[in-house]
Amino acid sequence: MKKLFAACIMLVVFSGCGKDPAVPADYLGGGVLKDSSIYFPQNYVLSVSKPNPTAAEALKPVIITCHGYSASTYEWSEFRAWSAGQTDYLISNVLLAGHGTTYDEFKNSTWHHWQASIKAEYNKLKAAGYKNINFAASSTSCPLLLDMVHEGFFNTASSKVRIFLIDPVIIPSNKSLSLVGIVGPVLGYVESKDEAGEQKFYYHYRPQETLQQLQSLLNVVRTELQSGFSLPQNVYMKVYKSKKDPTADPVSAVLIYNGLKTAAGTPIDLEMINSSLHVFTRLNLVPNVTAADRANQLYTFNDIVMRIF
């Protein structure tokens, strides 16, 4: 969910009213470039690459990575590269339904479709015999997982599930998303302000239909958190939140911390990261990356891996 919330009112003037954009061929959604996990799922999706694990493989920790709104598996490519060569744990990169493909598929997807992709991979790995399945989610995948916890998806899990949330969005930093129900049908779509090269991995054109789906998801999860709920006995969660996030208001972390408790009724783990980036664990194509940014990324990767054993 990269630089999502441009000024919607201004876009009423500059966007084609209710029309679909002409997506360049070299942009994500343009019909040529698609997420690599679609072409080579065996290189990304564990349920495809190892559908019949050995007894030893089934006991290894698995980390299912889940990306944000309008993004792709690219969002977790640096974690995958950092983990290359290790043999103690396994990674499965989930591509949310409707993402990484065509503009029309993205336009017609709902947040329930996005969530279903996460559920499907977990269920496949569980059915295959994997015993230690965990999640690392960024941005919009965080509320998707929070809703799964709220609906009881993990209540019957037979082993520990660890969920790590990177820069979860519950409240957007720019509040113009709340206008999408009014101006969205007029806009048709919103253009994102991208950095050079990001158009290949993030949708530059965001259909108003998906923005309304995003708003609906955030409303649902915000209400769930305001009502309060608890993690099941077998679920651990830690939130890592950038202090100056330009996309996900840091108050998102406060809402999660106040609205969600452990099974014992204690607060969940929350760590505020001294960063001004959104999804601070993804640094490729981000301009002016500092040594502190790289230290934050490395610390978080190590912290996640340490906690899955």
pLDDT in tens, 224-234: 999 999 999 99
Question: What confidence tier does 18 reach under pLDDT thresholds 50, 70, 90?
Answer: low
Task: State yes or no: pLDDT of 62 exceeds 60.
Answer: yes
What pLDDT shows up at residue 11? 38
Half-sphere exposure of 228 (CA within 13 A, CB side): 7
Please tell me the pTM assigned to this model. 0.93
Task: State yes or no: pLDDT of 126 exceeds 90.
Answer: yes
Euclidean distance between CA atoms 183 and 11, whole angstroms: 9
Euclidean distance between CA atoms 281 and 284, whole angstroms: 9
Nearest to residue 49, comparing CAs of 133, 128, 111?
A: 128
What pLDDT shows up at residue 19? 83
Euclidean distance between CA atoms 257 and 225, whole angstroms: 9
What pLDDT shows up at residue 8? 41
Question: What confidence tier does 3 reach under pLDDT thresholds 50, 70, 90?
Answer: very low
What pLDDT shows up at residue 178? 72
The first and second tokens of residue 61, run together, are 């920790």
State the average pLDDT over residues 59-69. 98
Q: Long-range pairs for 195-199 at CB < 8 Å and ≥24 separation?
A: 195/285, 195/286, 195/287, 196/285, 197/285, 198/2, 198/285, 199/24, 199/26, 199/27, 199/28
Average pLDDT, the chain: 93
State the average pLDDT over residues 111-118. 98
Task: State yes or no: pLDDT of 153 exceeds 90.
Answer: yes
Task: State yes or no: pLDDT of 187 exceeds 90.
Answer: no
Give the pLDDT confidence of 277-293 residue by residue, as tens digits: 999 999 999 999 999 99
Total count of residues recorded for the chain: 309
